[in-house]
Amino acid sequence: MRTRSLLALAGTVTALTVAMAVPASADGSAVLTTGSAGGAAAAVGDTLTAPLASGTTATLYSSATGTSGVTCTSSQFTATVTGNPTAPGTATESVTGHSFDSTSCTSNVTGVLGVSSITVDNLPYTATVASDGTLTVSPASGSTIQTTVKLRTLLGTITCVYQAPSLTGKADNSDSSIAFTNQQFAKSSGSSLCFANGYFTAKYAPVTDAGAPVYVN
């Protein structure tokens, strides 16, 4: 399940997502700025990227309180700024990439030997980032956020497909991060070894624009 909607299955998350942080709003500045809060505006067309925050993992668990599922230590998202108005307001982005390195992923689901791949489907997604730090990731009209996870079992490889109508995260200016907590995906297809629901949790940081940290205002 290499890029399992884990995040879209994460999917995801991607996404994935994208840019930013708890507001430190400065009147007259753009919603998304680079280098500092209230700094230079991120330009429309700029590419934003972020890996998993150092020392953290992306998880897709079978329940919101459990620890059974898939864990990855390497994931990244890429997004393009499509709108960045004056703060307070809501910036927009196009999430064009959300990947999971399957070699960094493991599963403790009974009967599963390993993770072959996790793929975030149906990209690009649309992301909105409000001045209060709320991040919302949505699919195109008529589509869904979807992650396909392929798992190795004693009986061969199985494919689990997970879907979610949208994802909600939170940006934090203290470390230019975006965090998703227990975002629920439902299984749309797959064998009985695929759990019925996937709860995606991950923190991406730092979000950068040409190497400079991104802030939300």
Examine the pLDDT at 13 and tell me if it is beyond 70.
no
Residue 126 and residue 94 in contact, taking contact as beta carbons nearer than 8 Å: yes
Alpha-carbon distance values, 57 to 16, 54, 72, 134 (Å): 15, 9, 6, 21
**Amino acid at site 149:** V
Examine the pLDDT at 8 and tell me if it is beyond 90.
no
10: left (phi over 0), alpha (psi -120 to 50) or beta: left
- Residues 56, 93: Cα–Cα separation, whole Å: 25
Q: What is the pLDDT of residue 22?
A: 44
Instruction: Write the pLDDT tens digit of every residue in 117-128.
Output: 999 999 999 999
Q: Count other Cβ atoms within 10 Å, centred on residue 106.
A: 14
Helix (H) or strand (E) holding 43: none
Residue 32 and residue 115 in contact, taking contact as beta carbons nearer than 8 Å: no
Residues pairing with 135 in the sheet: 129, 169
Instruction: Write the pLDDT tens digit of every residue in 155-180.
Output: 899 999 999 999 999 999 999 999 99
Residue 173 and residue 84 in contact, taking contact as beta carbons nearer than 8 Å: no
Residue in 115, 100, 8 with CA at minimum distance from that of residue 51: 100
Instruction: Write the pLDDT tens digit of every residue in 131-143.
Output: 999 999 999 999 9
Residue 9 and residue 185 in contact, taking contact as beta carbons nearer than 8 Å: yes
Residue 27's pLDDT band, with cuts at 50, 70 and 90, is: low
Residue 14 and residue 98 in contact, taking contact as beta carbons nearer than 8 Å: yes
For 15, the token pair is 């996404």
The reply to whether omega before 88 is within 30° of 0 (cis) is yes
Residue in 110, 86, 111, 93 with CA at minimum distance from that of residue 47: 93
Examine the pLDDT at 106 and tell me if it is beyond 80.
yes
Q: Which residues contact 141 (CB under 8 A, 6 or more apart)?
A: none
Q: Count other Cβ atoms within 10 Å, centred on residue 103.
A: 12
